[in-house]
A and B are shown apart, each in its own frame.
Chain A
Amino acid sequence: SQQGEEDPQALSIQEGENATMNCSYKTSINNLQWYRQNSGRGLVHLILIRSNEREKHSGRLRVTLDTSKKSSSLLITASRAADTASYFCATADSNYQLIWGAGTKLIIKP
Chain B
Amino acid sequence: EAGVAQSPRYKIIEKRQSVAFWCNPISGHATLYWYQQILGQGPKLLIQFQNNGVVDDSQLPKDRFSAERLKGVDSTLKIQPAKLEDSAVYLCASSPRPYGQPQHFGDGTRLSIL
How many of B's residues come within 8 Å of A, CB to CB? 21
Interface of B, secondary structure class, is: loop
What's the least CB distance linking B44 to chain A, in Å? 7
Q: Is A42 a contact of B106 with CB atoms below 8 Å?
A: yes
In the complex the two chains form, is B102's CB within 8 Å of A45's CB? Answer: yes
Q: Does B108 contact A (CB under 8 A)?
A: yes
B102 x A33 contact (CB < 8 A)? yes
Interfacial residues of chain A within 17-46, with CB under 8 A of chain B in the complex = 30-31, 33, 40-45
A45 B42 Cβ-Cβ under 8 A? no
Number of chain A residues close to chain B: CB under 8 A: 22
Interface string of B89-114 (1 = CB under 8 A from A): 00101000011101111111010000
Q: Are A42 and B41 within 8 A (Cβ)?
A: no
**CB-based closest 4 A-B pairs:** A92-B100, A42-B105, A100-B42, A96-B100
What are 8 inter-chain pairs, A to B, with CB distance below 8 A? A2-B42, A41-B107, A42-B105, A42-B108, A45-B103, A48-B102, A90-B42, A98-B45
Given contacts A30-B100, A96-B98, A98-B45, 8 further A-B contacts (CB under 8 A): A40-B110, A42-B108, A43-B103, A90-B42, A97-B45, A98-B103, A100-B42, A103-B42
